[in-house]
C-alpha cells in the first residue's frame, strides 16, 4: 500500500505562534497604511471590507489636489450644472482600493509581488461590487502599500495605480 503525500500550504506548516505573529504584523501594517494615507489627505471609508471569502484591506477617497484635478468651469455630466459666476468645482476624486502587504523581513519576494493575478482579479471583482452597492461615482484606482519590518525599523512603500482593470 502506497502512502499518498498531500501538498499543504505554507501557512499550515507554521506554528500557532508564527501565525499569531503574522496576523499581528498584518494588523500593524494595515494600521500604519491607514495612518499614512490619512496623513496624506485621504479619507478612509472602509477597513477590511468583506464579502464572502474576499476582502479589501482599505477603501479610501483620495481627495488630494493631484487626484481631484484643478478647479474648472467646463460643464461635465459627472459634475452636474456649471457653477455660478465666481464659483468653481473640482473634478471627481478617486476611490482607492488598497491592498496592504506586510513582511517581517526583506527577502527575495517583495511584499507587493505577493499580489498575484488571482488576488488582483478578486480585488477588482469586490471593488466592482462595492462601487455598485454604495453608489460610488468616482474613478477607481488600485494601490498597493508594502510594509517591511526589519531589525527594529519599518519601511512603508506606496505604489499608486499599481495595476488597472484594463491590464486584465
Question: What pLDDT, in 10s, does the model give residues 125-157?
Answer: 999 999 999 999 899 999 999 998 888 888 999
d(CA 49, CA 167): 24
Count Cα neighbours of 77 within 13 Å in the Cβ-side half-sphere. 0
Lowest mean pLDDT among 91-95, 120-124, 162-166: 91-95
**Which among 109, 107, 131, 106 has a CA at the least distance from the CA of 56?**
131
pLDDT for 25: 87
Phi, psi (rounded to 5 degrees) for 155: -115, 130
Question: What pLDDT, in 10s, does the model give residues 36-83?
Answer: 999 999 999 999 999 999 999 999 999 876 666 544 444 433 334 444
pLDDT for 46: 96
Q: Which domains does the chain have, with CATH numbers?
A: 16-68+89-167 (3.40.1350.10)
Amino acid at each position: 500500500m502506497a502512502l499518498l503525500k498531500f501538498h499543504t500550504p505554507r501557512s499550515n506548516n507554521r506554528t500557532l505562534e508564527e501565525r499569531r505573529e503574522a496576523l499581528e504584523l498584518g494588523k500593524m501594517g494595515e494600521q500604519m497604511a491607514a495612518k499614512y494615507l490619512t496623513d496624506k489627505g485621504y479619507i478612509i471609508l472602509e477597513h477590511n471590507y468583506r464579502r464572502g471569502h474576499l476582502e479589501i484591506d482599505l477603501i479610501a477617497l483620495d481627495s488630494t489636489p493631484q487626484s481631484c484635478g484643478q478647479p474648472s468651469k467646463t460643464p461635465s455630466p459627472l459634475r452636474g450644472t456649471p457653477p455660478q459666476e465666481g464659483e468653481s468645482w473640482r473634478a471627481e476624486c478617486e476611490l482607492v482600493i488598497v491592498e496592504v502587504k506586510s513582511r517581517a523581513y526583506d527577502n527575495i519576494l517583495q511584499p507587493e509581488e505577493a499580489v498575484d493575478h488571482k488576488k488582483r482579479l478578486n480585488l477588482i471583482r469586490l471593488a466592482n461590487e462595492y462601487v455598485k452597492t454604495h453608489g460610488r461615482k468616482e474613478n477607481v484606482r488600485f494601490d498597493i502599500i508594502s510594509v517591511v519590518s526589519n531589525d527594529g525599523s519599518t519601511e512603508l512603500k506606496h505604489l499608486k495605480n499599481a495595476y488597472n482593470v484594463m491590464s486584465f
